[in-house]
Structure 1
Amino acid sequence: MLDLVQLRSFVTVQQMGSFTFAAERLGLGQSTVSQHISKLEAAIGRQLLARDTHKVMLTPDGEALLGHARTMLSIEGQVQALFTAQRLRGTLRLGVSEDLVASRLPLVLEDFVRSHPSVDLELTVALSGVLYQMQDNGELDLVLAKRRLGDSRGRLVYREPLVWLARDPEHVLSLAALPLIAFPAPSVTRSIALEVLERHRMPWRIVCTCGSLSGLTAAARAGMGVLVQPQSMSPSGLKEIGSLPQLEDVEFVLIPSKGADRALVSALSEDILTKVKGLR
């Protein structure tokens, strides 16, 4: 029979791409996590992870096991919740900024859904400004989004610098007007970038507008222009441009809605605060 503790270590190593980060997230020693993987591989009789100096990746056998491992851990969470007197129930409508949903949130949401199977989590992904409008209209219970410095709303999760990015910085800087790739308004990063350029009297033009980060990234990788993003979320294939005026930092915050279920909002908020900070 497969050991659920070993499976949890296996899934976490896959999520984090590192034995060290997986151990930190699980609150275990790295040697303990390594032992879990070794015992799991011995029990199955197959190598599950391929290790090199940069990253830990799944082997084909590891890929085959991953879905089943997640299912078994999910069932464990459902059973635990079934016999927990204070288990959470209900619907929680979560709004998340486009920037965060692909980079940091999947691991948090996967754990939350597994731990609280009686909670129906409804996820909305949009620009921060749109999420604030939806929350004002009573359409969301909790928002995880960006705010500008000086804005007091919400509970701070973390603060991060914005950076200019391009595939070929020298080329875009040689143009008469800086070609910008940006989210449509209302967008925090768009507003900050345009204000900085106007303040420094630098000519600019919008060459691509898209509500999806994947679309903006594709345009930037195609060499169309300059993209502004939080530094830790910089897409691969793009380079920072240090010669452009410095951009202000942005803050990522959690904002609960009045009237939302306090227990549900508190449980997910604490998960996000703990785990998103841990992923940093």
Structure 2
Amino acid sequence: MTVGRFNIELLEAFVAVAEAGNVTHAGTKLNRTQPCVSTQLRRLEERVGKPLIERTARTMNLTPAGRILYQHATEILRSHEEARLRLSAPELTGTVHVGLPEWYATGQLQSIFCNFVRIHPNVKLEMTVADSATLHDMLTNNEINLAIALVSASKPEPDGVVEESLHWAVSDSCPLTDPLPLILFNQPCPFREMAFATLARAGRQWYERITTTSVAAAQVAVMSGAGIGILPSGALMEGLTLLKEQDGFPPLPATQLAIYTQTTTPSPIVDYLEEHLQDLLKNAITPRSALAGKTQPDLRVV
């Protein structure tokens, strides 16, 4: 059997459905109607010659052929988008210094910056990894040009705030009786006050067992069973257990991230990067591949 040529719009519809989990949400993401997306899925299946999605009255799942195509389709679309950006992007030359929270220093969000310099080979990228308070100070002192940082009440309200979930994370060997041993980040980390207020409302007692400036150190401490960590989704690791309300751990409020830039030093590079980073930031935080399988670590929810 010969598979027909792939069409970019058909692949976009297929990947959007795989990541959204249903046709309606995929259509909203693509700004296409639900019948249009359904028709494009059907046309793609006709070209492949095999069903890609198994549909029942209540669920949708990728078939084995669908999982194979999803892996290749995401790479095709990534390459297509990179080519489109390179051909349409302005000629940028110079240096841009960006700041990232530590738990985003690796993975999808960092790859966004790496793709940016591939698209703009005459741009030098300098990257600082630090806590959000430090990044805000560096912006104020004009030491960096752009930062993705936790929203600060002392700063002007930014545009395009993106929310990320916080979780109670432990290993199986950690005791869950009061007083609870907590693994926390140093002041002025906002996770601390969120955890304290939530535990106080639940009538739980706690003490700080380990305090650190390092996300990696906190992850190791939680994995070792030394205590309960308060970690954002981007810092979760395979093998951790996430505690829920039925375990006596009420939901934590979501954190808020935003893109901040200097106001005193305008730069075409920073303007262009900020413009294209907002949607990419949302995609980096939002869980993907609803049908295609997990992209987050294999976590245990109790």
TM-score range, shorter chain: 0.5 to 0.7
Separation of aligned partners in 1, 2:77 and 2:162:
36
Separation of aligned partners in 2, 1:277 and 1:22:
15
Q: In the alignment, what sits opposite 1:89?
A: 92
Change (3 A) 1:11 1:161: closer
Change (3 A) 1:39 1:106: farther
- Following superposition of structure 1 onto structure 2, how do residues 193-208 of structure 1 map, counting pairs within 5 Å? 193=195, 202-207=205-210
Deviation, 1:204, is: 0.2
Is the contact made by 1:128 and 1:188 (CA closer than 8 Å) also made in structure 2?
Answer: no
| One of 62, 68, 92 as aligned partner of 1:63 | 68
The residue matched to 1:238 in structure 2 has which SS? strand
- 1:225 correspondence with 2:227: yes
| One of 127, 152, 159 as aligned partner of 2:131 | 127
Q: In the alignment, what sits opposite 1:190?
A: 192
Deviation, 1:33, is: 2.2
Deviation, 1:101, is: 6.9
Deviation, 1:26, is: 1.2
> What amino acid does structure 2 have at the position aligned with 1:31?
P
Separation of aligned partners in 1, 2:26 and 2:110:
12
- TM-score when scaled to structure 1? 0.65
Change (3 A) 1:109 1:249: same
Separation of aligned partners in 1, 2:81 and 2:218:
39
Deviation, 1:36, is: 2.1
| Structure 1: runs of 5 or more not aligned | none
Separation of aligned partners in 2, 1:3 and 1:166:
43
- Following superposition of structure 1 onto structure 2, how do residues 143-222 of structure 1 map, counting pairs within 5 Å? 143-148=147-152, 150-153=153-156, 155-158=158-161, 165-166=168-169, 172-175=175-178, 177-184=179-186, 187-190=189-192, 193=195, 202-207=205-210, 209=212, 211-212=214-215, 216=218, 220=222
Report Cα offsets for 1:18-47 as digits up to 9, x if no partner.
433332221112332232233223212244
| One of 27, 38, 41 as aligned partner of 1:37 | 41
Q: In the alignment, what sits opposite 1:265?
A: 270
> Number of paired residues?
271
Separation of aligned partners in 2, 1:208 and 1:257:
31
- 1:142 correspondence with 2:146: yes
Q: In the alignment, what sits opposite 2:257?
A: 252
- 1:12 correspondence with 2:16: yes
Report Cα offsets for 1:180-237 as digits up to 9, x if no partner.
1233555332365468889x99540224757337x75675577543232469998884
Deviation, 1:143, is: 0.9
Separation of aligned partners in 2, 1:141 and 1:56:
43
Deviation, 1:239, is: 2.1
Is the contact made by 2:166 and 2:254 (CA closer than 8 Å) also made in structure 1?
Answer: no
Separation of aligned partners in 2, 1:39 and 1:30:
14
Separation of aligned partners in 2, 1:228 and 1:195:
13
Deviation, 1:179, is: 0.9
> What amino acid does structure 1 have at the position aligned with 2:244?
E
Separation of aligned partners in 1, 2:164 and 2:73:
39
Separation of aligned partners in 2, 1:163 and 1:79:
36
Identical-pair percentage = 22
